[in-house]
Amino acid sequence: MWSWLCKHCGCRRCRLMMNKPHDELILGIETSCDETAAAVVRGGRDVLSNVVATQHELHERYAGVVPEIASRAHLQRIIPVVRDAVRDAGLEYGALDAIAVGNQPGLIGSLLVGVSAAKALAWSLGKSLIGIDHIQAHLYAGALNDEPIAYPALGLVVSGGHTSLFHVDGPLEFRLLGRTIDDAIGEAFDKAATILQLGYPGGPAVDALASTGDDNVYDLPVASLGRGSLDFSFSGLKTALLYAVCGQPAGRGSSATFQRDASVFTEKEKADFAASFQRAAVTAIMRKLHRAFEQTTVKTLLVGGGVSANSRLRAALQEFAGNHAVALRLPPMEFCVDNAAMIAGLAVHKLRAHDLADVSLSASPRSDAAA
């Protein structure tokens, strides 16, 4: 059957541009949490530069992101990070076609730094301004430096703030299938690292330690939430790990006291906890993914968010895609965690659809996509 799909990017909306070159230059800005990032992407695909300034050292002692510290650090870093991204791309500001910014969801004070910078740049340079949803951008990361994505797709976002499944009909066409009813999976990994005294950010530390552990030593729970549910829950897993490591508490809530902490265990024992936790967390994701896959007909599996850097999850996803003959878009590590290339890449589809913002663009802690 004849189709209107653009041969350059697979997009349905830019069909009028089919014979024009797809080489729009977009500067993306991302400040939703604790990474200050800017990148230039050409034609929604070629990443010309990708600069990320992390703030991990600032938040480490608090074992989590402190919003006020994050927004102050964004303020200090945003101008040099943007300047580096434009310079690394070998461009002058005047060559850009548009400025895109992640304006939701995230920490409001952090988002506002990026949004203000993007507005100022777009206004002073006379360029188009584009607001981008961070969650949707995570599911576009697999298109960077690669062939256009074949839709429809099943989208899995696994990050520090979100754990969601979507039916995706195009770069900007999303239908929510399921999401976490409590903690996000990345949050659970970070809390597991705190319980095991592994430092911050916890996900990579749990991943590394788990590789030396036995994942069958502890039988930690995998939440199901009833037949047919595509929602997730990680708070029971987190609490089960806490009690397994620290023992049953005396008292309740913030006044609870525990019998011990992770320091009484050997490195090998801690590795067994990490591996058992990781097995349960990844099993929870894969079960829901499998269930969603059975309920839909898709050509591609899109995965994004920081936890897609997890080695066990990556292996499970690759095995799943192989067994079910579905194309898997699992971004390289640099595009899994928060970055601005995914913002600039997705933005080209809004530019082509003339879905532009103006100086009234605001930031929001919530995502429309995950609503």
Selection from 109, 168, 108 nearest residue 135 by Cα: 168
Cα separation, 249 vs 49, in Å, equals 50
Smallest gap from Cβ 338 to Zn ion, in A, equals 4
Helices and strands, number each (H, E), in the chain: 11, 10
Closer to ligand KG4 at the Cβ: 43 or 365?
Answer: 365
Mask of contacts with ligand KG4, 158-197, x by CB under 6 A?
Answer: -xxx------------------------x--xx-------
**Residue 359: both structure tokens together:** 């100086």
Give me the least distance between CB of 3 and ligand KG4, in Å please.
33
Collapsing DSSP to helix, strand or coil, 349 comes out as: helix
Token digits for 146?
């690669």
Closest CA to 267 of 340, 210, 223, 333: 210
Rounded Cα distance between 160 and 244, Å, is 23
- Residues 312-351 within binding reach of ligand KG4 (CB under 6 A): 337-338
Distant-in-sequence, close-in-space partners of 132: CB < 8 Å, separation ≥ 6? 28, 100, 101, 102, 103, 343, 346, 347, 350
Stretch that binds ligand KG4, among 7-15, 147-155, 198-206, 254-262 (CB under 6 A): 198-206
Out of 102, 306, 331, 345, the only residue in the binding site for ligand KG4 (CB under 6 A) is: 306
Kindly tell me which of 33 and 280 has the beta carbon lying closer to ligand KG4.
33
Q: Which of 33, 99, 284, 298 binds ligand KG4 (CB under 6 A)?
A: 33
Q: Whose structure tokens read 């024992």? A: 269
Q: For residues 231 and 338, which CB has a smaller minimum distance to Zn ion in the complex?
A: 338
Q: Tokens 């979507």 belong to which residue?
A: 166
Cβ closer to ligand KG4: 44 or 331? Answer: 331
Minimum Å gap between C-beta 335 and Zn ion is 11
Instruction: Give min distance, CB of 305 to Zn ion, in A.
Output: 6
- Contacts with Zn ion by CB under 5 A lie at 159, 338
Closest distance to ligand KG4 from the beta carbon of 39 (Å): 14
d(CA 308, CA 359): 34
202 touches which of ligand KG4, Zn ion, none (CB within 5 to 8 A by kind)? ligand KG4
For residue 209, the partner it binds in ligand KG4, Zn ion, none, with Cβ less than 5 to 8 A by kind, is none
- Rounded to the nearest whole angstrom, what is the least distance from the CB of residue 272 to ligand KG4 in the complex? 17
CA dist 90 and 77 (Å) reads 20
Contact 314, 303 (CB under 8 A): no
Please say whether the beta carbons of 103 and 350 come within 8 A: no
Q: Which is nearer to ligand KG4, 24 or 30 (CB)?
A: 30
Of residues 68 through 127, those in contact with ligand KG4 by CB under 6 A are none
Q: Give 39's strand partners.
A: 28, 50
Residue type, 324: H
Binding residues for ligand KG4 restricted to 201-260, rule: CB under 6 A? 201-204, 207
User: What backbone torsions phi and psi does residue 365 show, to the nearest 5 degrees?
Assistant: -70, -15
Q: Kindly tell me which residue out of 109, 305, 331, 345 binds ligand KG4, with binding defined by CB under 6 A.
A: 305
Min CB(305)–ligand KG4 separation in Å: 4
* Residues that bind ligand KG4 in the complex, under the rule CB under 6 A: 33, 159-161, 186, 189-190, 201-204, 207, 305-307, 309-310, 337-338
